[in-house]
Structure 1
């Protein structure tokens, strides 16, 4: 099972690259295609990120339910094939509308995180789930490293070069999957596809009806909205506050991704073994609250770079939350649960870029009554605190 395991982790890495790849080049790309100021580019960046996330919200449950009905293998392979073609379109796009179309298709094909997580649930024993979900998070972190680093380095050859590299990598991963990926859905766990349940709202209702799950879903959502402040405004914030170049932005995001991968791939296992999933989540959320407060008022770029590994310590929260909810979900609904989590994650990516870039644009304008480019981090801190308080009151029930 080692090669299929690596293939699934590679697919998650490619999904993460779809987010991170464009971050260092997005301000320059938007100004190149659309013109205007950096503040206006931030608004368009929020729109593109929102389109990407909206498709993940809609298609996360659809792909999760399809994988419960037709298998994980087919869903992952078809998505990778279409993703490769989409990157090629993005590489030649000459208008904002074609870029928008590319992000819409990219959001659909990157909604396979639910299917990858369902595969992990299929092959994991109960005590292994948090650690294996952590490996998915680590793969996401590696993709988040490679995406900005590739985007930053290849920006030397133009704003389109990173898309050609991503297209080639997606195609290569697809070919590997054809050779090594087995099917893990069995006759005992197969569930007939229902378009009604594939609707994100109906899937959410079905999962929220499980004992103790509803408040955990709210915690996961608030955590996700908060944490997406980083991809939403980091490039714009660091240009405005520190005057960073695309290469420096890519490096900083790479440092964060390495820290995130180290935490979710390594720290999550001993943390949940010694502290338990619940205490691990509490410590992780406290780290995030503290990090947001520091970043909001930081004015030194070197200190910001040194702070990044500390902010990554909060990355233990997501896999531990997934594990708690997976324990409370029947085996026949693991794909549906992961689809719901993908939708909530995507919904947060719809809301967070629009809200955070809007707040940034309001407080980063030269004529702003209060000049505070770090204001979005204060909003993220407040949302994280609400989620933290809600988590302290929640008690999931093991299925």
Structure 2
């Protein structure tokens, strides 16, 4: 059953909004960052793309270093205070981006957001605290639904509002983060009872310690690698899609906004609704495998899209692949104790952050290599083929790991 001391529906609503704000703030950057960097740095799009890669690297690197710390702090002091601190950190970052006079200040903001960016890890630990059984995996679907809505508002809002004034989207994101922090301060209950907390341990609150904790289970290593490869593959869509449609189909900023709306609706429908039917029907393992295969198929089809409207069509199997994420998280979290969930989610966020360090640079380089004027082969879809190959590897790793499920016992 769900956590007896917490009104689960109210808590999940807050977590939904928290994850939504997290994803929205990141998605807002996608359509407007080229113009923002061009304006602040007085550079062309080529140089702006390079700067954006380093901004992403800065944010992700800080998350790699500090997510384990924040996750362990949530195991020691509870989820609630860490969530509130994270929201305030994001608000500060958005304000820096809205009013930054130079590119340097964008790096300051991204550093702050990366350090405090434990929102996803602590939010998912909160869900694990108040959920059990099939409801655990189903409730993790809220992460996908919130991400979908955040993506809608972020990408489309960034495109439409940015078309009016490039600073407006960041101001809206800052206000939303502050509002949710205030709401959480007065409304959100703590999910981790004091008797289930543990002492803070620096040996475990670091990237190396988190990797060691993830390695407690032999079969979990393969799942963790697969988790990382899928996140890297997703960067082909999350960070390269605007460049892809600008280059291949000459889309406008508003066109990207409409595509963002479409993708967000798909994600909400699939991860916020359909997955609650599919988890009980197919079970965790089938959802993981079918979802990953769908991811790979979608990425491959996007790579070979011949007309702009086909991008909409091929996004359907790609977004359906999102059923694999909640199922995989539900499977992994069921193997850890209540007082280790924060640490676990910190470790998984660490893997996600590592993919953010590697993914945008890897996908960006493959895109540049096959679209540069001196390239011998012109193929803008290269990042999506690369992503599909990574997903294929992850499928093989997951199948191998699930066969060793019995070895997950301590």
Per the normalisation by structure 2, the TM-score is: 0.94
Q: Choose from 13, 17, 22 the match for 1:15.
A: 22
The separation in 2 between residues aligned to 1:353 and 1:327, in whole angstroms, is 31
RMSD over aligned Cα atoms: 1.5
* Structure 1 match to 2:69: 62
Q: Choose from 90, 95, 99 the match for 1:92.
A: 99
* CA positional deviation for 1:187: 2.6
How many residues matched?
399
Q: Deviations over 1:122-167 (max 9, x none)?
A: 1102221110111122112111111111101111222111111111
* CA positional deviation for 1:33: 2.1
Mean alpha-carbon deviation: is it higher for 22-31 or for 102-111?
102-111
* Structure 1 match to 2:304: 297
Secondary structure in 1 matching 2:159: helix
* Structure 2 match to 1:275: 282
Mean alpha-carbon deviation: is it higher for 92-101 or for 334-343?
92-101
Asked whether 1:186 is paired with 2:183, we answer no
Asked whether 1:32 is paired with 2:2, we answer no
Secondary structure in 2 matching 1:373: coil
Secondary structure in 2 matching 1:228: helix
Secondary structure in 2 matching 1:154: helix
Alignment of 1:133-144 (within 5 A): 133-144=140-151
* CA positional deviation for 1:175: 1.1
Asked whether 1:323 is paired with 2:322, we answer no
* CA positional deviation for 1:212: 2.5
Any conservation in 2 of the 1:131–1:319 contact (CA below 8 Å)?
yes
Q: Deviations over 1:86-138 (max 9, x none)?
A: 21111111222211222222223333211001111111022211101111221
Any conservation in 2 of the 1:67–1:75 contact (CA below 8 Å)?
yes
Q: Summarize the Cα distance change of 1:364–1:350 in structure 2 as closer, same or farther, 3 Å threshold.
A: same
* CA positional deviation for 1:292: 1.3
Q: Choose from 380, 389, 397 the match for 1:373.
A: 380
The separation in 2 between residues aligned to 1:65 and 1:18, in whole angstroms, is 24
* Structure 2 match to 1:146: 153
Asked whether 1:164 is paired with 2:171, we answer yes
Asked whether 1:209 is paired with 2:219, we answer no
Asked whether 1:354 is paired with 2:372, we answer no
Any conservation in 2 of the 1:13–1:143 contact (CA below 8 Å)?
yes
Q: Deviations over 1:6-27 (max 9, x none)?
A: 1111111111012101111112
* Structure 1 match to 2:4: none
Unaligned runs of 5+ in 2: 1-6
Asked whether 1:127 is paired with 2:106, we answer no
Of the two structures, which has the highest relative contact order with CA contacts closer than 8 Å and spacing of 6 or more? 1
Mean alpha-carbon deviation: is it higher for 229-238 or for 37-46?
37-46
* CA positional deviation for 1:253: 2.1
Secondary structure in 1 matching 2:361: helix
Q: Choose from 323, 326, 340 the match for 1:333.
A: 340
Asked whether 1:176 is paired with 2:161, we answer no
Q: Choose from 392, 399, 408 the match for 1:392.
A: 399
Any conservation in 2 of the 1:60–1:112 contact (CA below 8 Å)?
no
* CA positional deviation for 1:211: 4.5
* CA positional deviation for 1:3: 2.4
Any conservation in 2 of the 1:53–1:350 contact (CA below 8 Å)?
yes
* CA positional deviation for 1:364: 1.3
The separation in 2 between residues aligned to 1:207 and 1:332, in whole angstroms, is 14
Secondary structure in 1 matching 2:196: coil
* CA positional deviation for 1:38: 2.9
Asked whether 1:71 is paired with 2:63, we answer no
